[in-house]
Chains A and B, each alone.
Chain A
Amino acid sequence: MQSLTNTMQAVPLNNYILLSAIIFSIGVIGVLIRRNAIVIFMSVELMLNAVNLLLAAFSVYRGDATGQVFVFFIMALAAAEVAIGLAIIVMIYRNTNSIDINVLNRLKW
């Protein structure tokens, strides 16, 4: 493990930011191009994970454990969000027999 982390010392922080930005953008594009509600949800998960990775990288860069605790809270929040969201999707499917989000354009307040 020590040798593994020693090899990481040369990776600049900019590369972590770039990687997270690319994956976040892929998540944004996924939300925009898909019509399946579950796939849209998975794209949101991708975005959350990109942010998690960046927080962990900054935490290691600064030598501060607070960032990693924050990632832990984000994971708890993501679990709650997925449970609620999937329950809502199941309910939508029962009512409309479809999880196409274009069916939802009839939503009234």
Chain B
Amino acid sequence: MNTFYFIAFLSIFFSILVISAKSPVHSILYLILTFFTFTIHYILLNAQFLAIVNFIVYMGAILVLFLYTLMLINLNKEAEPVKSNLVKLAAVIGGGCFLITIVASLKLLNVSPGVSLQNPGLGLVKNLGKVLFNEFLLPFEVSSILLLSAMVGAVLLATKEPKSAA
């Protein structure tokens, strides 16, 4: 139980650092740590498949993509322009209002019982694979089309147009 609170504290701490770090590279490194704490959360929930996928897809693929894009875009020339303090204050108040709304609506609910794992094999690959390939076979195939179209679109957008074609 204490593990959860410690990891939750780390998640919140690192995610605040993500949005407050001056340099974008530092933001990305803190984002990696945040995603690592999320992986630990999944392990604590015994969702082992999600933990591995989170580790590989988010910490491996997506963050490497972020890091390489940031390195391709040479940002070292000038520091990032910052928004005025008034805008920042308004943004923090807006986000805080959102949080207060959710917390207040949560207070109206009864205190829930603990999250207990009735079926220990729930988050394992075997169980998830059975669900994924029986009930969710069509969405699974459609998501492959989504990934293909995303790949084609990314290549199309990122390749430089030849000058002679214009």
Contact = CB atoms under 8 A, between A and B. Distances in A.
Interface of A: 1-2, 4-5, 7-19, 21-30, 32-36, 38-39, 41-43, 45-46, 49, 52-53, 56-57, 59-61, 63, 65-66, 68-69, 71-73, 75-84, 86-91, 93-94, 99-100, 102
24 contacts: A8-B114, A11-B1, A11-B4, A15-B5, A17-B106, A21-B103, A25-B102, A30-B19, A33-B88, A38-B73, A39-B19, A39-B24, A43-B19, A46-B15, A60-B46, A68-B50, A72-B49, A73-B143, A75-B54, A77-B143, A79-B147, A80-B149, A80-B150, A99-B75
Given A1-B46, A76-B146, A83-B150, A25 B98 contact: yes
A1 B88 CA distance: 43
A35 B35 CA distance: 23
A32 B95 CA distance: 9
Given A5-B44, A7-B3, A13-B112, A82 B62 contact: yes
Given A21-B106, A86-B69, 9 more contacts: A25-B96, A28-B94, A29-B19, A32-B90, A33-B92, A61-B112, A83-B153, A91-B158, A99-B73
Interface of B: 1, 3-5, 8, 11-12, 15-16, 18-19, 24, 27-28, 31, 34-35, 38, 41-47, 49-50, 53-54, 57-58, 61-62, 65-66, 69-70, 72-73, 75, 80-83, 87-88, 90-92, 94-96, 98-99, 102-103, 106, 109, 111-120, 122-123, 127-128, 131-132, 135-136, 139, 143, 146-147, 149-151, 153-155, 157-158, 160
B91 A46 contact: no
Contacts of B57: 75, 78-79
B80 A100 contact: yes
What are the 4 closest A-B residue pairs judged by CB atoms, nearest first? Answer: A32-B91, A30-B19, A80-B150, A29-B95
Contacts of A87: 153-155, 157-158
Contacts, number: 256
A1 B154 CA distance: 40
Contact of A63 (B34, B69, B119): B119
A11 B81 contact: no
A33 B73 CA distance: 21
